[in-house]
Structure 1
Amino acid sequence: MKELDLKFEKGKNIIVGKNNSGKSNIIKAIDLILGKNSPTWNKSDNITDNDFFEGKTENEIFIWCELKKSDEELLNLSDAKGAFFKLFDKYNYTYEKMDVNFSNKDDLFKFSTDEGQARIDSDNYKKEWIGTKRYCIHGFEDELNDMTDFAFAFRSTKESDEYIKEMLFLYKKADDKEWLFSVNANFRNELLQSAIIPSFRDPKDQLRITNYTWFGKLLRKYIQVDDSDLNDAFGKVKDASNKLFKDLQNNIFYQKNQIAFPNTEISFQFNPDAKQDIYKSALIYVDDGFNSKLDEKGSGIQSVVIIGLFDYYIRNIAHTNGSLLAIEEPEIYLHPHGRRVISDRLDAFLDGHKNQVILTTHSPEFICSPHEDINLIVVKKDDGTFAKNLSFNDVKTKQILIKKQNAEMFFADAVILVEGADKYILESIAEEFGTKIRINSNGIEKDLGRNWLNDYNISIINCGGKHEFWKYVKILNEFKIPWLIIADFDYIRNGLNDFFTKLSYEQHFQDGLNALKSKINNSGKYKSISEIDNAETKQEIEKYISKLSEENRIHILTGELEDFYRLAPTYDKEQGVIEILSTAIEENNNISEYVKIDEFVNALEFFVENILKLELVEDENKE
């Protein structure tokens, strides 16, 4: 991706989008800045040629990660270790600050270069150290407690086959324009404890045991090295290993070796001898009918265990004010029930929005959660990467998320909205329509195709009634997803006015509708245009319907769905739809044998030409 700005909220942040839209790049950027490894460590392979835009290493990689502290949050830095420095200008008698300007990154990183380091070491500046080292002037809490905005700026370039990595730590008060800063300050996990779980699950990496990883800290804190029972058990294991390997030990280090290496013995052990390293030998086994190590299990159980361990760590060990869990595609290799278990586990991790979750997904189980507020981020590629946020934090917007099938609209390139079960009829009509329509694609004529809805990433969404259209359109507009509405005739009389009002259409749309409604209402409450006897009124309605479709993408049918059945089914509503579709499948007929499809076809033709921007070609060989 060339450029992308994202804002993550407290609570659950869900990133959705088609494959190759850039979702993985977002998680990688978060991991690079906030993950366990130092972003600027020159031996790390955290940057490759493929990370540069279009793989061109003459470009640069720049990441700005900003953390904001709310008024009710308190920094708890009592366990923080280490130190960083800020610069004091001895001649101007003030601290060096930066007015951050992304268009001039050289100025932002001016102290990271060799020349900048020379300036820091000159007589012009004094390093004022902050932290827990003996040479520090201030402690972390004294320096940072009153600050509200924190940021990390990272840049990488490639010069002579070497990746140059630079990083700044910046902080300020909310009302300040300029930032205090420190070069290469390794002060990330102290502000926000994070765990990043990429799509490729690797417990050996995500649960790496060192003295600086969260899992290593958990085990070190949890395992008491002076536990008498533990020491007795290790002693017995050591005695057993000495007996088992006695002959091998004697043969390797036989008597002649004692001449060169006097007073030296060799031993084989099943556990570390040093007390401080006991925690590093811990292994996780899972017994799901077959007892084996965690890294030999499926990614689903791996995700559950990693999330559970991190949750325990931040609640019982780290005691931070807020923590971040970023997970890529948590649904991988999981059946629907397993996905819901993971989703519930993530909701529990949020701890009332104290913590933050960022996840990428293609699964509705993680989107359709009416109990938690959700910040949904749709990522699309359209002449560059584009992302749009929308918060689902009230009853009206959450209603849309209750239906899992509706979640697919967030992945769609375009959407057709219908009132209810006519979704299934329209999908069948669309299949038949695709077999009878040809398009001109770059000068080549071809069939649109039976599966054109999938080919062009189109979703048909059941809105659950005509009064719900405006809610869906509002969301689709926010995400810049084009749409078409297909509604029954009575939408003109009941629902369309409210649609115009809720979406703040210009007044003339309502004026024109009200004038037409007055004529319809005076004649009766009709559900079909065929019930209107007045030819002039009927002509006005037909003209209005045509204009509404062309100008507003709202296609009004001349009746209800039932009016288009060639033979009425035994049942009504959704059961009737199922009956018709089942009959068509059993008799191996097109849907047009049971439903008059002309008006639906007109709507689909409009959709293909005006929303998909495809050129239709008449096919004289097809009926």
Structure 2
Amino acid sequence: MKIKEFTVKNYKNIGIDELCTIKFPNKADGQSDMLTIIGENNIGKSTVLEALRMFFPYEKPHCPDLDRFPKKVEPNPLNEDEHMEICVTFHKFTEQDLNKIEISRYIYNEELKIKRLWKSSNLNDKDVPYYAYIQQAYIHELEGKPTWNNTAFQDVSEELRDLRQRFCAEQGLTGTIPAAKKEDFLQYVLEENSALVHHRNPEWMANPNGLSSVLRSIMPKVIYIPAMKLLQDETNPTKTNSAAKNIMSSLIEKKMRTSQKFVEFETAATNLTNAFVGEDRHESLNSLETSLNLKLKRLMDIEAKVNFSPPVIEKLHENTTFSLIYNDIETTTDHQGSGAQRLLILSLLELMSQELDETVEEVENSWQRSYLFLVEEPEIYLHPQLQRKMRDSLLKISESELSQVICTSHSEHFIDLADRHQGIVIAKRNFTTGTTLFSQVEENLYNGENALDKRNAMRMLLNFNSSTLESFFSRRVILVEGDCEIASFKSIKDVLISKYPDKKEDIESYCKDINIISCKGKLTQRTYCEVLTHFGIEPVIIHDLDGELYNSGNNLRMLESINLDETRRLYHSPNFEEDIFGEEWLNDKPWKATKLISERFDQYEEGLLRFFNFVIGKEAADSLNIDSLVSSEI
């Protein structure tokens, strides 16, 4: 089973103004099961991973302290709007999932919805049940009959009486089905004759059928890899539940189970268990117990029972450990640098991606637990080439039927607008409330007859211009056709600072949070404009008319990409250099433009300022008021 989506409510600065809902991409659209959360520093990206970890039953802490509630304020237990809540929805169940009663009994409408809510801080784990959204099953003929004895079954159908008789025989019951066995009987009837079982309308139910106790055996195994904090701990294979230990244990387990020596050991351990546990246990254990009780009886009328705990075969792989050797010196992982520790995680992830593929193929008929990888800033400590390798390893893992990946990142290598745009989650701050909001694009942006051309254009842009990703964090995004416009803007800024030194700080302030992207052509401009618009970003465009009318052909399509809003485009006729400088250039355009601006700015001032003011935006241009300064000099 896979996670379809999850929601977070009232966890630190997340899910306060509105529920934070994050969905995994639809693999049917060719997307991988990998989410990348991007956003500014300290905005709450890692908080999402933290909330998810708290939700899963084997992660700690299980319950939040006051620091995890919004503004560290104790919630009102009677006000649901203030309660913390995390809900995870699973779907895409395999045949093995559906055959596992611990999973199938909680599925409704092809989904398994589980949530947990906390009404106050510092609660005990046992006091916070898991809820499941299910239809309660019941046997209509037994409704209103609190005791399921012989009398209760006198006026029921023959089919139900027969099932009751068979069930009691199998369970060794005398006739009355005790309360502790009612759920088992209901499940028995459901499997043998489902027509006798009715269902109520679906609702959230607290701990139905002992849900809280079975979750540990069916939930995905979480492997958490932090960025900087506790990295040494996470690469330490001797530390309980560290990332390295979890990955290595999973890798070792399968290797052990295919070894003949392990099979022999497992058989010997079973024989040992049989010899020392139960009524027919070894005489030496009985003798030891008798001797102990003889001495106890002399002191007090009390009896001791000696028990033997056999080795837990299933957990032998958890005893795995390893060290690192560098320059012929063997050390533990915590004595290596951060880069080496990150490379260790990368290598383990590469092995894990191979193992997941092999595991699915080799044991496809048996139920297998899935994995959820939570990775903070996977690019940290790695140079660009290894960042790409880390990305490829995580993508390979996410393509497995057994795993999903959520990572936080600032690296362009992990943010793919061409092929994984549905897996990008943007975190932005609401400056009015101080909370963090998350958004993502669910639909496929590349469709229609030009879908392939648009996708290829975006791939080319991303391959040759890493600054495209700054668009998500910029005040203003400007899409231009080529490099000449970018070089000209920088040169104009330098000239203005030299002419008006008292305006230096203002000019630099308005220029630093804009992003000018060279798109290398109109098709790429339009494509990137459409993609950014879907993410809630409204770029502006600067383009050449190239001999066409401003409102026809390609120029009309450019206008349509910004919803016919003329305030969001600036065009030059027939092109940038001829419009502003009156010259036609075939090569070295950025260099020629820079030279003319630095040496003869006053001659081309009107066109250059019109261009500069459009780039920084009307509000910034009005504040700087460069035009009036120029006019006063004339």
What is the TM-score normalised by the length of structure 2?
0.60
Alpha-carbon distance in 1 for matches of 2:75, 2:356 = 41
Query: In the TM superposition, what is the alpha-carbon distance from 1:28 to its structure 2 partner?
Result: 1.5
Alpha-carbon distance in 2 for matches of 1:180, 1:35 = 18
Q: Residues 488 and 561 of structure 1 are in contact (CA less than 8 Å); yes or no, is this contact kept in structure 2?
A: yes
Give the letter for the 2:378 counterpart.
P
1:450 equivalent among 495, 508, 513: 508
Q: Residues 16 and 360 of structure 1 are in contact (CA less than 8 Å); yes or no, is this contact kept in structure 2?
A: yes
Q: Residues 541 and 570 of structure 2 are in contact (CA less than 8 Å); yes or no, is this contact kept in structure 1?
A: yes
Question: Please, which moves more after superposition, 5-14 or 217-226?
Answer: 217-226
Cα 1:578–1:190 shift into 2, 3 Å: farther
2:494 equivalent among 432, 435, 439: 432
- Matching residue of 1:590: 598
- Matching residue of 1:385: 436
Q: 5 Å matches for 1:551-562?
A: 552-562=567-577
- Matching residue of 1:15: 37
Query: In the TM superposition, what is the alpha-carbon distance from 1:54 to its structure 2 partner?
Result: 2.7
- Matching residue of 1:51: 68
Q: Residues 44 and 427 of structure 2 are in contact (CA less than 8 Å); yes or no, is this contact kept in structure 1?
A: yes
What is the TM-score normalised by the length of structure 1?
0.61
Query: In the TM superposition, what is the alpha-carbon distance from 1:317 to its structure 2 partner?
Result: 6.1
Q: Quick check: 1:376 aligned with 2:401?
A: no
- Matching residue of 1:202: 231
| SS across alignment from 1:333 | coil
Q: Residues 421 and 577 of structure 1 are in contact (CA less than 8 Å); yes or no, is this contact kept in structure 2?
A: yes
- Matching residue of 1:497: 556
Q: Residues 153 and 169 of structure 1 are in contact (CA less than 8 Å); yes or no, is this contact kept in structure 2?
A: yes
Cα 1:471–1:189 shift into 2, 3 Å: farther
Number of paired residues? 458
- Matching residue of 2:46: 24
Alpha-carbon distance in 2 for matches of 1:288, 1:229 = 35
Q: Residues 33 and 152 of structure 1 are in contact (CA less than 8 Å); yes or no, is this contact kept in structure 2?
A: no
Alpha-carbon distance in 1 for matches of 2:262, 2:202 = 57
Alpha-carbon distance in 2 for matches of 1:601, 1:51 = 50
Q: 5 Å matches for 1:538-549?
A: 549=566
2:203 equivalent among 173, 178, 192: 178
Q: Which has the higher helix share?
A: 2
Alpha-carbon distance in 2 for matches of 1:397, 1:560 = 26
2:320 equivalent among 266, 278, 282: 282
Q: Residues 38 and 409 of structure 2 are in contact (CA less than 8 Å); yes or no, is this contact kept in structure 1?
A: yes
Q: Residues 199 and 328 of structure 1 are in contact (CA less than 8 Å); yes or no, is this contact kept in structure 2?
A: yes
Gaps of 5+ in 2: 1-12, 27-31, 77-81, 136-199, 266-309, 361-366, 447-451
Q: Residues 545 and 572 of structure 2 are in contact (CA less than 8 Å); yes or no, is this contact kept in structure 1?
A: yes
- Matching residue of 1:303: 345
Alpha-carbon distance in 2 for matches of 1:372, 1:281 = 38
2:221 equivalent among 193, 199, 203: 193
- Matching residue of 1:572: 586
Query: In the TM superposition, what is the alpha-carbon distance from 1:501 to its structure 2 partner?
Result: 4.6
Q: 5 Å matches for 1:25-40?
A: 25-34=47-56, 36-37=58-59, 40=62
Residue by residue over 1:330-381, the C-alpha shift from the partner in whole angstroms, topping out at 9 and shown as x without a partner, is 1111111011111111222123676422222111111247566752222111
Residue by residue over 1:373-427, the C-alpha shift from the partner in whole angstroms, topping out at 9 and shown as x without a partner, is 7522221113332222125674434642443322222332320111122343244
Alpha-carbon distance in 2 for matches of 1:417, 1:407 = 13
| SS across alignment from 2:423 | strand
Residue by residue over 1:491-535, the C-alpha shift from the partner in whole angstroms, topping out at 9 and shown as x without a partner, is 7144232234566x4xxx6xxxxxxxxxxxxxxxxxxxxxxxxxx
Q: Percent identity?
A: 17
1:407 equivalent among 443, 459, 469: 469
Query: In the TM superposition, what is the alpha-carbon distance from 1:301 to its structure 2 partner?
Result: 0.5
Alpha-carbon distance in 2 for matches of 1:593, 1:25 = 50
Alpha-carbon distance in 2 for matches of 1:359, 1:202 = 16
- Matching residue of 2:537: 481
- Matching residue of 2:268: none
Alpha-carbon distance in 2 for matches of 1:172, 1:437 = 71
Q: Residues 49 and 57 of structure 1 are in contact (CA less than 8 Å); yes or no, is this contact kept in structure 2?
A: yes
| SS across alignment from 1:447 | helix
Cα 1:413–1:31 shift into 2, 3 Å: farther
Gaps of 5+ in 1: 81-138, 232-272, 510-547
Alpha-carbon distance in 1 for matches of 2:24, 2:60 = 23
Query: In the TM superposition, what is the alpha-carbon distance from 1:450 to its structure 2 partner?
Result: 3.2
1:563 equivalent among 568, 578, 585: 578
- Matching residue of 1:605: 613
Q: Residues 45 and 408 of structure 2 are in contact (CA less than 8 Å); yes or no, is this contact kept in structure 1?
A: yes
Cα 1:189–1:419 shift into 2, 3 Å: farther
Alpha-carbon distance in 2 for matches of 1:327, 1:476 = 26
Cα 1:312–1:6 shift into 2, 3 Å: same
